[in-house]
Every structure is written in C-alpha cells, then in structure tokens.
Amino acid sequence: MNEFQAGWKPLLAATVGTMCGLITITNYSQGFFVGPVTAEFGWEPAEFFFGFTLMMCVGVVTAPIVGALVPKFGVRKLGMFGLLGHALSYLLLSANPGSLALWYLSWAAVAVLGAASLPIIWTAVLNGWFRRNRGKAVGITMAGTGIGAFLLPPVVEYFISHYGWRVAYQAVGIGAFLLALPTVFLLFKENEAAADGPGEAQAPPSNWGLTREQALRTGRFWRLAAVLFITVLVIVGLLSNFERILSSKGMERSLIAAIAAVLGITVIFGRLLVGVLVDRFWAPVVACLFFLLPIVALFVLINMQLTVGTGLLVAVCIGLAAGAELDLLAYLTSKYFGPRHYPAIFGGIFAVFSVGAGIAPPLMGEAATALGGYDRPLLILIGMLALSIPLFLSLGKYPEEGRREMASG
C-alpha cells in the first residue's frame, strides 16, 4: 500500500496539531497584541516581547523533557495534553491585571503547559508511517505553520477590534484547542506494526537509532545543533525585524504589509518544496541551497535600491529559507540518529533552536541600534550564513541504516 494511503490520517492530524500548537499560534499572533496590551498597561514593546524570549528560553528545559516522556506516555496522549495546556496558558495571559512579573510568569507557563504541542510531538508519529516519503510528510506537517500564519492575522485582529485583547487571547487559545483536539484524538495514532520490525508495506521497518545519550556523544549532534542555532538566529532575526528593516530603507508600511503577505505564502511553499527535495537528494546539499537564498536577499538589501520588485525578491528568498528550517531540523534528526529515540533526540536539538529563536529578535534590534542601522548587522548575518554551508556539508553521509531505509522504500 502507498505510504500516503496508509498514513494520511496521522499526517492530517499532525498538520492540524502543528497549525494549532504553541509555535504557530505564538509566532504569528503576538504582533497584533503588542499595541493594545502596551497601551493599556503603559509598557514598552521590548517589555512585552521579553515574554516571548523567556518562553523560548524555558523551552531549553521543556523540549527535552517532552521528548523523554514519549516512550512512557505516547505521542497521542502528550499531544492532547499539550493542546489543553496551551489553551489554559492563553487564558492565563488574558487575565493579567497589569503586572509585568505575572506577564513573564504567564509566558513561562506557556512554555511548560504547551510544550507537548511542539513539533517534537507532531513529527514523531511520521517515522512509523513514512520511510521513502518522510521528507514530504514532514514538509506537509510543517506547512501547518504557514496555514496558521495565513489564517491567524484576520481572526486575531477581528477579536481585538470588536472585543478587546483579553477576549482575543481567550478565543485563540480555546479555538485552537477545539479545532485540533477531535482530529488528534481520532486520527493521531502511531503505526504499532512499525515497532515490531519488517512487515507489510504499510508498516515500514523504522526501529533503528541511537539513544539520546549516544547521540550527545557524537560530534555530528553538536555540528547539527550549531548549524541550526546559527541559521535560526539569522532567519528569526530577519523575520522579527522585517518591517523595521524595510522601513529603514524608505518603504511605506502598506507596501511592506503586502510584501510580508507574499513572504508568508512563500514559507508554505518552502516547507513543501524542501520535503520533496530531501526525499530525492542528500539533505545537507538541499540545506545549503536554501540558505544561500537569504545571502542573496541580504546583498540586495545592502547594495540595491529597495523597490517593490527587489522587496518581493527579498521576501521570496527569506520565505523559502524560513520554510525550510524546521523541516530540515526534523528530517536531519531522523536520518542521522534514527527514528527509535527520535522524540528524545529532537527535544535536545529543539532546545538549541528555542534559544536561538528566543534571543534573535531583541539581539537583531539591539545590533541595529548599536551599529547605527541595519546594514552592518546584515553583513554579519551574511557571514553567519556562509559559515552554515560547510557545517551542513560536514554532517557527512547518512548512517547505513538510513540509506537502507530509503533504498528499500
């Protein structure tokens, strides 16, 4: 049986879970809350966004813990708990009376209660259902973030405009939970036959791999962690400061909004495209090609006049790389360390990703302030991306088990 015929139900549930999970909801909604919240409480935007930074840094602890809990509780139970915890934490955010300390504690609670709604859980189930098409399956699952990026802004803006930011937080949290829970409960199931060894075509043998302790003792793990940290610093730094960068080049906000919408659509395309390519070609080379694109974008921003045409080129280049990053993180982890202990190892890798994503927005903004604009920070980002190329290539060939797994698909 075709892998997609056998595994479409858990794949659909994984995509919906990703769309309604912590990373998607938080990343693509907070920009709409910053104005109303800071206006009511008299906070600075930096104080508001420090909650996001704190959440990502707490993820350094929570992500590995969630990964380690998978063998005991299973991805389905953890996923449902994560969706519920995420919804409850958004209710906590909505109840803030104006206390900055409580605001930060609430964001720490988001990281703890919603940790099991991270991609660690949603991608873990794919290993048992997909072997030859694993890259495509990861790409489709991660496209849930792009779908969320497309749907969330008008929904959040509607609730804020008509009912206020508190109701908007409640609506987003409860709405995501009610949308995802039935799908996850009914369809998000592991392929039990895959754990027993070779069998029918619908149950690919996917029971090899290193433990987390074994993976931590390899240089490959730390090279992968390093290259992901570098690239997430660059991509999240660019995405979070995208409006300010283009504004500093003299572009009007209305045009920036239109270009940003193109960037969001490109993220979805990037997720799907990288999934197709890594199933056919060596993933580190695919990664190099995708992360050469933002180098082109940065050269354009530094050296060329910013027009609608050049702005769209920048958006497409950055969007494709942004779409590729999480897919590559999940795929490379499974290919180099195996699916048997994937959640635990991916949790460790995701912790590094969380730190980079958490510190990138303020770090990029502070660098622009300290260096008198964005041009010099953008040059630094070019150097960081150039460093990522040899790091990706240094990962080497897939382990023999991974190559057999692909060949036998």
DSSP for 288-336 reads HHHHHHHHHHHHHHHHS---HHHHHHHHHHHHHHHHHHHHHHHHHHHHH
CATH fold of the domain at 213-409: Growth Hormone; Chain: A; (1.20.1250)
| Alpha-carbon distance values, 395 to 27, 123, 226 (Å) | 29, 21, 11
Structure tokens, 315: 């958006």
* 38 Cβ contact list (under 8 Å, min separation 6): 44, 45, 47, 48
What does the angle CA 271 – CA 272 – CA 278 come to, to the nearest 5 degrees?
90
Which tens digits make up the pLDDT trace of 22-53?
888 887 787 778 788 989 999 987 788 788 88
What radius of gyration do the chain's Cα atoms show? 20
pLDDT value of residue 334 = 86
SS3 content of the chain, % helix, strand, coil (to 5): 80, 0, 20
pLDDT value of residue 200 = 39
Q: Does residue 351 sit in helix, strand or coil? A: helix
| The domains spanning 1-207 and 213-409 adopt the same CATH topology | yes
Which tens digits make up the pLDDT trace of 295-341?
999 999 999 888 889 999 999 999 899 888 878 888 898 889 988 88
Q: Does 149 score more than 80 pLDDT? A: no
DSSP conformational letter for 199: -
> Which ranges of 164-197 does DSSP label H, i.e. alpha helix?
165-187
Structure tokens, 79: 């996923």
Which tens digits make up the pLDDT trace of 343-369?
888 888 888 888 888 788 778 878 888
Q: Does residue 219 sit in helix, strand or coil? A: helix
Phi, psi dihedrals of residue 132, rounded to the nearest 5°: -70, -30
How many of the other CB atoms lie within 10 Å of CB of 78?
23
- CATH number for 1-207: choose from 3.40.640.10, 1.20.1250.20, 3.30.470.10, 3.30.830.10: 1.20.1250.20
pLDDT value of residue 114 = 94
pLDDT value of residue 164 = 94
What residues does each domain of the chain span? 1-207, 213-409
Can you tell me the distance from the alpha carbon of 79 to that of 270, in angstroms, rounded to the nearest whole number? Answer: 25
| Alpha-carbon distance values, 34 to 48, 73, 98 (Å) | 7, 37, 13
Closest CA to 136 of 24, 4, 17, 263: 4
User: HSE on the CB side for 392, CA within 13 Å?
Assistant: 24
Tell me, yes or no, if the pTM score tops 0.85: no
Could you write out the three-class secondary structure of 23-69?
A: HHHHHCCHHHHHHHHHHHHCCCHHHHHHHHHHHHHHHHHHHHHHHHH
| Alpha-carbon distance values, 187 to 5, 123, 139, 202, 375 (Å) | 13, 14, 19, 16, 48
Can you tell me the distance from the alpha carbon of 226 to that of 373, in angstroms, rounded to the nearest whole number? Answer: 27
Among the listed ranges 16-30, 77-91, 99-113, 290-304, which one has the minimum average pLDDT value?
16-30
Tokens 């075709």 -> residue: 2
